């Protein structure tokens, strides 16, 4: 059993060093926490390789976990090493020493130690469920059972590359409206906070009644400037409440349902979700995973609880003996192309090939939609921007015109 040397700080700020004869870093951290110690450095001692320095993960790494680029590199390296004849223990330890991400470094070395102690590789990956998804360690299990671990890690690297492409698409789709809307909000706040108060004293001297747009903006300006601190804390509370609500299953379900119904973004999201589902499903089935298990894992990888719930029901119907294409026909939100290609795949015995073609088709479609997204959204955003400008222009210039008319009439 490997041991772990540690450096930790007690509540008085003193540095404490020691040793635990345990199997994982998690056990070291748990024991230190029980003793009221904050870990600073942990070293794993291996008779074969000597001590390996494991720094404590940074706050950002703990919050955001492992980047998808790190996972892609991890899978590629494992696939290449295994294909070259390097045993899994040695491969994991080599990667564990070289990995830049501390969480991945800890996981790789801990998995190697667990495997050396007799644990199955897939079970060792499953222990680190905060780092590796169920899809990941189930693909590793498939590789164990079929004797093709190098191929499993190659598939995982390709799946993660595709996932990175999807994330890039989503960012590209939302970046333009986010920038425009943010700029619009900042402009409104600036005008209401700094510009309108300067006109209030000018308009207050007018003996004539102010136009409705002016009254509304002055009232809004007074409210914002007079309650700025309260509004700041209300905004912070709303953001905190939203983040807490994201832990609630019902809220997440409602949010995912709304995403599917949004104009423009809803249909785009379905294309992206279907591309992800079809590609994962194809990789699983070509690896030898049965359809029921593939549906379970591919559905969980969708990223939308509403669609994942549909896939769970479809999986149950397939277990009862119904054809997959027939079960999908009960859900109109699922594109007919997927059902039709599945039916062809079921009849020809080439379901994995059909799913890859569907995934490629939706990748192309989503790329086209994203490229033209600015063209679709720009009229709406320009209309909103024009409306805001018009309201402010009327609110400022209408009273000024009235005052000029009064002056002219008096002259």
pLDDT at 191 over 60: yes
In a domain, 244, yes or no: no
From 124-128, 191-195, 282-286, the region with the lowest mean pLDDT: 191-195
Q: Which structural domain, as residue segments, surrounds residue 331?
A: 265-371
pLDDT at 206: 62
Instruction: Give me the CATH number covering residue 339.
Output: 1.20.81.30
For 83-96, what is the mean pLDDT?
A: 90
Kind and range of the H or E run holding 193: none
For 281-294, what is the mean pLDDT?
A: 86
pLDDT at 324: 92
> CA torsion, points 185, 186, 192, 197, in degrees to nearest 10?
180
pLDDT at 64 over 60: no
Q: Are both 333 and 271 inside the same structural domain? A: yes
Domain's final residue, options 56, 78, 96 = 56
Q: Is 51 or 323 the better-scoring residue by pLDDT? A: 323
For residues 56 and 102, give the distance between their C-alpha atoms in angstroms, rounded to a whole number.
7
pLDDT at 220 over 50: yes
Supply the DSSP string of 279-291, one letter for each residue: HHHHHHHHTT--H
In a domain, 226, yes or no: no
Domain's final residue, options 101, 132, 161 = 161
Classify 386 as helix, strand or coil.
helix
Kind and range of the H or E run holding 321: none
Q: Is 293 or 6 the better-scoring residue by pLDDT? A: 293
pLDDT at 43: 64
> In percent, how much of the chain has pLDDT > 70?
86
For residues 360 and 365, give the distance between their C-alpha atoms in angstroms, rounded to a whole number.
9
Supply the DSSP string of 307-321, one letter for each residue: HHHHHHHHHHHHHTT
The Cβ of residue 303 has, within 10 Å, a number of other Cβ atoms equal to 16
Report the domain count for the chain. Answer: 3
User: What is the pLDDT of the chain when averaged over all its residues?
Assistant: 82
Q: Is 234 or 212 the better-scoring residue by pLDDT? A: 234
Number of H helices and E strands in the chain, helices first, is 19, 4
In a domain, 91, yes or no: yes
- Pick left, alpha or beta for residue 379 (phi over 0 → left; psi -120 to 50 → alpha; otherwise beta): alpha
């Amino acid at each position: 059993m490997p041991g772990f040397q540690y450096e930790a700080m007690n509540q008085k700020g003193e540095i404490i060093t020691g040793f635990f004869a345990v199997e994982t870093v998690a056990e070291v951290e748990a024991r230190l926490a029980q003793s009221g110690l904050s870990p600073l450095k942990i070293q794993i001692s291996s008779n074969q390789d000597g001590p390996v320095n494991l720094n404590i993960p940074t706050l950002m790494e703990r919050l955001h976990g492992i980047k998808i680029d790190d996972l892609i590199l991890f899978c590629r390296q494992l696939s290449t090493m295994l294909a070259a004849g390097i045993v899994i223990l040695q491969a994991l330890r080599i990667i564990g020493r070289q990995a830049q991400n501390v969480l991945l470094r800890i996981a790789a070395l801990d998995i190697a130690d667990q495997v050396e102690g007799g644990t199955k590789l897939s079970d060792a990956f499953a222990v680190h469920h905060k780092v590796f998804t169920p899809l990941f360690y189930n693909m590793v299990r498939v590789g164990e059972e079929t004797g093709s671990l190098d191929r499993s890690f190659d598939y995982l690297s390709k799946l993660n590359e595709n996932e990175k492409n999807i994330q890039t698409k989503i960012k590209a789709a939302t970046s333009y409206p986010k920038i425009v809307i943010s700029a619009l909000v900042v402009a409104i706040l600036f005008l209401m906070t700094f510009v309108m108060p300067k006109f209030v004293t000018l308009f207050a001297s007018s003996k004539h009644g102010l136009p409705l747009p002016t009254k509304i903006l002055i009232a809004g300006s007074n409210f914002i400037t007079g309650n700025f601190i309260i509004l700041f804390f209300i905004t912070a509370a709303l953001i905190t409440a939203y983040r807490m609500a994201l832990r609630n299953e019902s809220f997440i379900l409602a949010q995912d349902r709304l995403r599917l119904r949004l104009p423009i973004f809803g249909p785009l999201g379905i294309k992206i979700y279907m591309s992800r589902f079809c590609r994962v499903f194809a990789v699983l089935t070509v690896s030898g995973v049965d359809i029921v298990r593939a549906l379970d894992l591919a559905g969980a990888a969708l990223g939308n609880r509403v669609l994942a719930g549909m896939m769970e029901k479809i999986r149950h119907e397939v277990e009862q003996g119904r054809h997959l294409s027939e079960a999908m026909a009960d859900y109109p939100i699922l594109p007919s192309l997927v059902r039709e290609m599945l039916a062809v795949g079921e009849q020809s015995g080439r379901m994995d090939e059909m799913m890859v073609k569907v995934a490629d088709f939706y990748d192309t479609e989503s790329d086209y939609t994203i490229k033209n997204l600015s063209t679709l959204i720009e009229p709406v955003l320009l209309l909103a921007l024009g409306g805001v400008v018009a309201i402010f222009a009327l609110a400022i210039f209408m009273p000024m015109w009235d005052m000029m008319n009064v002056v002219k009439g008096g002259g």
